[in-house]
Amino acid sequence: MADSSANRPAPPRVPTQPTLLELLAAFTQVSVAAFGGALPWSRRMIVERKRWMTNDEFNETFALSQFLPGPNTINFSVVFGSRFGGAAGAAVALLGLVGPPLVIVIILGALYERYGDIETLGHILAGIAAAAAGLLVASVAKMAAPLFTRRWNAAPLIAILAFVGVALMHWPLPYMFLALSPLSIALAWFKR
Amino acid sequence: MNDNPLWTLFSLFAVLSLMAVGGANAAIPEMHRVAVDVMHWMSDKQFADMFAISQLSPGPNVIIVALIGYHVAGLAGASVAIGAMVVPTCVMAYFVARTWDRFKDARWRIAVQAGLVPVSLGLIAASAFVLARAADHNVYAAVITLATAATAYFTRANPLWIFAAAGLLGVARLV
């Protein structure tokens, strides 16, 4: 899936193909580490550690997962898994991503139902939430950096519009998505 | 409408999963409306606590639906809720991904793919901003956010260490 990189030199990397077992292991590791959302951890595993995808391939696959309805990291695991291992790959990646956290969260939920209000827990949650937000900021910065230095030049503008609309103007996300996507796709179409 | 809570959970989350363009956090307001205001399954504070627990738990944010399901109907509720939220959209993602790969050299696909990336990045940046605003309610929290962002951007250190430190600052009641 190196299609869109045809117009620039391919970045040097060792092409690796994960096996089903590696897929399961990778997504299980992502899921048990993934505090504050799975995106930063998926990117760290797939792009930085395993080098199964380049930054661009990851961005494109993640963008497709986001365009599909439903939780986007879940979609991502299915799209990613099916690319490397068909239906079995998709199932294995999904199982790794959802299985372990499901068990953990149900245990926590059961404890919460029993021991409800513990103040220290709230403070711990607050500290971790602040760190999780910072981790997501770093991931966005890494994913977006190439956008501002090459590709078609309307891209940063579209990204900034989406950010301002949702983060600052609080416009409903589905509307922003439906309004900006056709515009952005049309710009990409005529650019080529 | 059937009175069985499992059916209610199923229909709520199956519909939500298909509306949640942009991730589970985008669907949080609708979950809150149904769980607290319409069905009276829980109080406002209970919902906020569940959101915090889902953030504390590792894994995708969507895991909050299992907590809501568990609160309403135990293990069966948790299974029904997560299944309804995940299975329909995964089947769809699977078939779209296969079709997508067949057209990998088509001009329209290249344009769609290149066009979606900046929209997607803008939306993720917006979630990062919203989460940081919600989490950074004092100076210590803001420092934690900035320190985590800088460490994760400039190094390949495992962020779990920062999370552990942030949790300890919480134990010390600084956050």
Neighbours of A174 (CB within 10 A): 14
Closest CA to A142 of A54, A27, A81: A54
Cross-strand pairs, A35: B58
**3-state SS class at B105:** coil
Closest CA to B127 of A181, A47, A177, A178: A177
A140-to-A44, A110, A136, B4, B100 alpha-carbon distances in Å:
12, 34, 6, 42, 25
**B24 located within any domain:** yes
Instruction: Give the total number of structural domains in chain B.
Output: 1
A89-to-A18, A25, A111, B46 alpha-carbon distances in Å:
10, 12, 34, 37
Q: Does B86 touch chain A (CB under 8 A)?
A: yes
Q: What is the Cα–Cα distance from A141 to A187, expressed in whole angstroms? A: 23
**B113–A60 CB contact, under 8 Å:** yes
Residue of chain B whose Cα is closest to the Cα of A33? B58
Do the beta carbons of residue A103 and residue A96 sit within 8 Å? no
Nearest to B20 among A1, A70, A158 (CB): A70
pLDDT confidence of residue A151: 56
The minimum CA-CA distance between A43 and chain B, rounded to whole Å, is 12
Q: What residue spans define the domains of chain A?
A: 9-147, 151-192
A173-to-A31, A37, A145, B26, B66 alpha-carbon distances in Å:
26, 18, 23, 7, 24
B160-to-A33, A162, B109 alpha-carbon distances in Å:
7, 30, 38
pLDDT confidence of residue A7: 45
Structure confidence by residue, pLDDT tens digits, B33-58 = 888 888 899 887 777 777 777 777 78
Question: B-chain residues within 8 Å CB-CB of A139?
Answer: 124, 128, 152
The minimum CA-CA distance between B1 and chain A, rounded to whole Å, is 24
What ipTM did this prediction achieve? 0.74
The minimum CA-CA distance between B38 and chain A, rounded to whole Å, is 21
Q: How many CB pairs under 8 A join A and B?
A: 394
Model confidence at A15: pLDDT above 60: no
pTM over 0.80: no
**B109 located within any domain:** no
